[in-house]
């Protein structure tokens, strides 16, 4: 395949740089990724580092974070943080900024899952899921955004779900939380994009992870149903979500904000 190289062109009288390899790179960027010690968070961290960024992994398990950061290399650091402690978000941003430098990319990935029939889900359980996903992500976005606005640019990503797009049984609290992400993305995009801060979401489909493998163990019928409604006929890889995160955070997506990108092999449009 012929490699694209930068070239000059004029659009509306303004000189622009045409598509080139650097458009998909993240040199000079620093990403804070919550839930970054494993699963999709770690996959996104690896992909961003390969694209040239530095990453800071945040989560509750410090030992897991350290191992994850060490496995990535010198371009990764880690900080312990519990997203449920909403009032600590500003302190986290200050700590990361003082130790590593400005946060130019925020990935709201941390979350909890609750599989339980809707009529058996208690108010306490429902509120816990909403707090972790919705309020936790809002607190961090609110803490990070002012610095991005002052610098005139930044990217905030929310990791949504297929549960944001269609009904899935026994996950009412999770579905409510992930659907709320889409409203937050649209609202934040309208407020922050005029200041150069883009806000988007990724909705992963059924991705092959340790968690998904455990969920499908001993349930071949469920696996069969998932693959039957996925046009590509297979599970995705965590790296697929990582590459989507790189794209939405890169200059290649500089005119994209307020969208949700399904990374699902067509599951959201399949029958």
CATH number, domain containing residue 93: 3.40.50.720
Higher pLDDT, 222 or 48: 48
Q: Would you state the pLDDT for residue 250?
A: 97
| Position 48 in a domain | yes
Counting the structural domains of the chain, the total is 1
Average pLDDT over residues 163-180: 94
**Distance in angstroms (rounded) separating the CA atoms of residues 179 and 210:** 24
Query: What residues contact 215, with CB distance under 8 A and at least 6 apart?
Result: none
Q: Residue 141 domain-assigned? A: yes
By the 10 Å C-beta count (0-12 exposed, 13-18 middle, 19+ buried), 164 is classed as buried
User: Is 181 among the catalytic positions?
Assistant: no
Q: Is residue 8 part of a domain?
A: no
Question: Average pLDDT, whole number, for the chain?
Answer: 91
CA–CA dist 56, 65 (Å, integer):
9
Residue 153 has pLDDT above 60, yes or no: yes
Measured CA to CA, the distance from residue 233 to residue 63 in angstroms comes to: 37
Residue 9 within any structural domain of the chain: no
Least confident range from 66-75, 147-156, 207-216: namely: 207-216
Q: Does some domain include residue 46?
A: yes
User: Is residue 2 a part of any domain in this protein?
Assistant: no
Report yes or no on 254 lying in a domain.
yes
Sign of CA dihedral 206, 210, 215, 221: positive
pLDDT digits (tens, 9 = 90+) for 90-134: 999 999 999 999 999 999 999 998 999 999 999 999 999 999 999
Q: What is the pLDDT of residue 15?
A: 35
CA dihedral 44, 48, 53, 55 (to 10 degrees): 20
pLDDT of residue 172: 97
| Top-confidence residue, 1 or 150 | 150
pLDDT score recorded for residue 21: 66
How do residues 64-98 score in pLDDT, each as one tens digit? 999 999 999 999 999 999 999 999 999 999 999 99
Q: Domain range for residue 246? A: 22-263
pLDDT at 132: 97
Q: Which is more confidently placed, 217 or 54?
A: 54
Catalytic residue among 77, 105, 155, 174: 174
Residue 4 belongs to some domain of the structure = no
180-198: pLDDT as tens digits: 999 999 999 999 999 999 9
| pLDDT band at residue 220 using 50, 70 and 90 as cut-offs | confident
pLDDT of residue 210: 79
First-to-last alpha carbon distance for the chain, in angstroms, is: 34
pLDDT at 18: 54
């Amino acid at each position: 395949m012929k490699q694209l190289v930068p070239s000059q062109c004029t659009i509306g009288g303004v000189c622009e740089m045409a598509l080139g390899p650097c458009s998909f790179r993240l040199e000079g960027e620093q990403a804070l990724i919550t839930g970054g010690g494993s699963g999709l968070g770690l996959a996104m961290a690896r992909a961003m580092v390969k694209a040239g960024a530095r990453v800071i992994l945040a989560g509750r398990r410090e030992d897991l974070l350290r191992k994850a950061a060490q496995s990535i290399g010198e371009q990764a650091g880690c900080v312990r943080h519990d997203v449920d402690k909403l009032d600590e978000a500003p302190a986290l941003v200050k700590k990361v900024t003082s130790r590593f430098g400005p946060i130019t990319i925020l990935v709201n990935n941390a979350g909890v899952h609750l599989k339980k029939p809707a009529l058996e889900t208690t108010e306490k359980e429902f509120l816990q899921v909403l707090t972790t996903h919705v309020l936790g992500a809002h607190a961090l976005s609110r803490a990070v955004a002012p610095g991005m606005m002052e610098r005139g640019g930044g990217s905030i990503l929310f990791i949504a779900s297929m549960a944001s797009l269609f009904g899935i049984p026994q996950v009412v609290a999770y579905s409510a939380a992930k659907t709320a992400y889409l409203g937050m993305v649209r609202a934040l995009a309208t407020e922050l994009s005029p200041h150069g801060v883009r806000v988007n979401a990724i909705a992963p489909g059924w991705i092959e992870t340790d968690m998904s493998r455990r969920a499908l163990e001993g349930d071949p019928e469920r696996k069969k149903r998932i693959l039957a409604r996925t046009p590509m006929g297979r599970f995705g890889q965590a790296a697929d979500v990582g590459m989507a995160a790189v794209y939405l955070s890169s200059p290649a997506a500089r005119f994209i904000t307020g969208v949700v990108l399904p990374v699902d092999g067509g599951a959201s449009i399949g029958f």
